[in-house]
């Protein structure tokens, strides 16, 4: 019987401030239904004081750098991350492992995995892949090196858990191994039910379109450029009183000439309730990257009719015109937004189907049961 699961994370997942952190934290919540969860993570000026959340214990260790995952626009960040946050702290990590004595170690992301594999001998080590990392880089040499590193990690791991349905299929075919599994990102459906029941009907004359995502992450920055250059102009022609809200951290924003009433950058918002309750349509015109887009699952869970690109839909079992609208043609993308604003019956049908999808695959309890079974299987 499993009693202790150790999660090795490159970031502190709580409080949640990004899709990466949400993916790690919600997984911990699901595991905590059947075992005690320990999360160790790098933190600048760490206090070494454990933080308790019911059956989850967060334990920081001191490092020089803790925010590298949010600087992926720079190719060298991958190697700096390995060196400064994890490779230079292997002794600290080993000490914490020996102190906690977990039944299983679950490593988030492949950055440190090969080191740990040869470092830890007596405890099963699994790997959780949130993305296929090399897809995030445009530099060909960097992509090649990352691809090699990831494949090495996938081969060494006892089991590999992909949050993305499509990534799991892709890597399983490529490696021809049976140790690769799809474990969807858990979504709090109870919160979703409350949001769906409380959703406000927006008057068509003043629709609100939202995009959620940190602009420090390159695919999100590119998505906002697409929104500015291709989507807003076409939607405003049909609905002059429409407004677009961009929610997420940013260091800079793309150039634009729209007034604040038409395009507003809200920055990081701790509580998304009001935004989700009043959104007419949620969008994800992502053109690069891989893995599950947490924002899309949150849109669906909140009962917001959604339009996404193929990259935005990747990793989720979405069907076009059933659960959402999917297209990489930005003119058609804009027309789908207009259609959902104009046709409330269509919007309700899309939301109903999306809700069924969430309830079938993404609830915390169902994923907890699946993880428990896979952890216990030898």
Arithmetic mean of pLDDT over the chain: 88
**How does pLDDT run across 215-257, given as a tens digit for each residue?**
988 889 999 999 999 999 999 999 999 999 999 989 889 988 7
Q: Put residue 335 in one of left, alpha, beta given phi > 0 → left and psi -120 to 50 → alpha.
A: alpha
Tokens 């420090």 belong to which residue?
216
Give the global pTM.
Answer: 0.86
By DSSP bridging, strand 56-63 and strand 51-53 are: antiparallel
318-345: average pLDDT: 97
Q: pLDDT tens-digit profile of 289-314? A: 778 899 999 999 999 999 999 999 99
pLDDT, mean of residues 119-124: 87
- The average pLDDT across 122-132 equals 91
Cis-peptide into 15, omega within 30 deg: yes
pLDDT at 69: 43
Whether the Cβ atoms of residue 88 and residue 63 lie closer than 8 Å to each other: yes
pLDDT for res 259: 83
| Triad 70, 160, 315: Cα angle to 5° | 60
Domains assigned to the chain: 4-186+364-376 (3.40.50.2000), 189-361 (3.40.50.2000)
Task: Give me the numbers of helices (H) and strands (E) for the chain, helices first please.
Answer: 15, 14
The predicted-structure confidence for 70-114, as pLDDT tens digits, reads as follows 344 444 555 555 555 566 678 888 889 999 999 999 999 888 898
pLDDT for residue 20: 85
| d(C-alpha 368, C-alpha 378), whole Å | 18
Tokens of 291: 């893995």
Within 10 Å of residue 343's Cβ, how many Cβ atoms? 14
Residue 49 confidence (pLDDT): 65
Q: What is the pLDDT of residue 44?
A: 74
Q: What is the mean pLDDT of residues 32-42?
A: 93
Tracing tokens 């454990």 back to the chain, one arrives at 50
3-class SS of residue 9: coil
């Amino acid at each position: 019987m499993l009693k202790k699961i150790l999660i090795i994370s490159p970031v502190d997942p709580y409080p949640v401030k990004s899709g990466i952190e949400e993916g790690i934290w919600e997984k911990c919540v699901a595991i905590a239904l059947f075992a005690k969860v320990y999360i160790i993570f790098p933190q600048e000026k760490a206090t070494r004081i454990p933080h308790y959340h019911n059956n989850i214990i967060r334990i920081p260790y001191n490092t020089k750098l803790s925010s590298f995952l949010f600087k992926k626009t720079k190719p060298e960040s991958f190697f700096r991350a390995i060196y400064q946050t994890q490779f230079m702290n292997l002794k600290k990590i080993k000490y914490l492992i020996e102190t906690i004595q977990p039944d299983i170690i679950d490593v988030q992301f492949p950055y440190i995995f090969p080191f740990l594999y040869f470092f830890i001998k007596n405890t099963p080590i699994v790997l959780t892949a949130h993305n296929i990392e090399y897809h995030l880089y445009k530099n060909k040499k960097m992509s090649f090196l990352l691809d090699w590193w990831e494949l090495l990690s996938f081969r060494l791991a006892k089991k590999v858990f992909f949050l993305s349905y499509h990534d799991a299929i892709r890597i399983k075919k490529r490696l021809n191994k049976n140790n690769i599994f799809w474990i969807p990102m858990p979504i709090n459906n109870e919160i979703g039910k409350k949001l769906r029941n409380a959703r406000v009907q927006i008057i068509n004359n003043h629709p609100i379109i939202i995009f959620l995502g940190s602009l420090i992450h390159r695919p999100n920055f590119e998505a906002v450029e697409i929104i500015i250059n291709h989507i807003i102009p076409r939607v405003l022609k049909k609905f002059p009183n429409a407004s677009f809200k961009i929610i997420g951290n940013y260091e800079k924003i793309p150039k634009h000439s729209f007034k604040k009433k038409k395009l507003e950058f809200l920055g990081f918002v701790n509580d998304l309730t009001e935004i989700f309750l009043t959104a007419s349509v949620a969008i994800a015109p992502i053109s690069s990257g891989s893995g599950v887009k947490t924002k899309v699952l949150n849109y669906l869970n909140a009962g917001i009719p959604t339009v996404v690109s193929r990259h935005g839909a990747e990793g989720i079992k979405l069907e076009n015109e059933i659960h959402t609208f999917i297209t990489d043609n930005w003119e058609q993308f804009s027309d789908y937004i207009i259609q959902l604003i104009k046709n409330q019956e269509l919007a309700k049908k899309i939301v109903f189907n999306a809700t069924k999808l969430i309830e079938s695959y993404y609830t915390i309890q169902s994923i907890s049961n699946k993880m428990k079974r896979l952890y216990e299987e030898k």
